[in-house]
Amino acid sequence: MGAFKVWIRPFVKLLFIIDLVAANSKTVLNKKRKYAQFHLDLGQSDFMFRDCKTCGLKFVPGDEEDTKLHKEFHKNYTHGIGLKSWRNERVIGTHSLEAGRVILVQKDDPLAHIKKVEEVIKMMEMELGEGWIFHKDCKVYLFISSSRVAGCLVAEPIKKAYRLISNSDEKSDVCSTRKEGKLTSTTLQFGSISFQRETMRKSPLTKDDRKPKDSLLGAIICEKDAVPAACGVCAIWVTPSNRRKHVATHLLEATRKSFCSGLTLEHGQLAFSQPTSAGKLLATSYTNNKSFLIYTTNSV
């Protein structure tokens, strides 16, 4: 232990000298400091980064700050980001306090509302992929339960959609692939034209994802002719602890009843973006039709 103290004192002194010189340097003063996280490995058993199997966050179990950060993120991911209430929130429909409530956020709402939506979208992107879920013309529906955002639906205005051919999975030889449980690919075909989207998952697979490959969604073949449509369901996400509690159904109901001012859409009039296997099951169940409407980005 004495040898360790003898070694570390000149090291600390050297760091102090370096910092003093940097502080007096005109060059350093004219530049923004860049900060990076470093860890000193002194042989502790819990030093290495670990991936949380539920939320996917990397953290160092032996580091107090990292452990605290992971605990907070893990709670937000599994139970939802905290949101008690807003003074002027737009509640859609009537729900009991036990069941929760759905609130609508639009682009002209207060900045605090928009910031909260952006926070929720970042959480959704951890699982659904980045850069395609949200834009300024979207309407965002948040399901609030126990003062947390238990689910989110993002809807956008569209002009047309295509009806899914119900037995498209059997007719197509273009299949969805998943490499090492990370990559999901979905192909949509309209006549001779095909569209493909790939999503990289940042979090490990859940129990529902560890199913045989035949449960994964393959190519989606739609009818060639488009039909008029007004509402496109871009994405739906429910926190892990609130799944199988009809949260997605509440969000879809609120959307079809409020998306078009003064008009309640029929179940089958909602169009869905390129769905995953779980998304296809939800759309089929909600519309009570295997040939539900699908839209692409050029339908907006």
Model pLDDT, residue 12: 43
Model pLDDT, residue 237: 95
Model pLDDT, residue 19: 52
Whether 138 and 201 share a structural domain = yes
CATH code for the domain in which residue 168 is found: 3.40.630.30
Domain of 227, in residue numbers: 87-300
Whether 49 and 138 share a structural domain = no
Whether 121 and 9 share a structural domain = no
Model pLDDT, residue 179: 35
Whether 189 and 268 share a structural domain = yes
Model pLDDT, residue 129: 87
Measured CA angle at 208 (ends 145, 120), to 5 deg: 35
Whether 183 and 215 share a structural domain = yes
Q: Which residues pair with 12 in a beta bridge?
A: none
Whether 63 and 191 share a structural domain = no
How many domains is the chain partitioned into structurally? 3
Whether 182 and 149 share a structural domain = yes
Whether 260 and 166 share a structural domain = yes
Model pLDDT, residue 260: 96
Whether 214 and 290 share a structural domain = yes
Model pLDDT, residue 184: 44
Whether 231 and 271 share a structural domain = yes
Whether 51 and 172 share a structural domain = no
Cβ(273)–Cβ(234) under 8 Å? Answer: yes
Whether 25 and 107 share a structural domain = no
For the chain, residues with pLDDT lower than 50 are: 2-8, 10-18, 20-21, 26-29, 35, 169-185, 190, 197-216
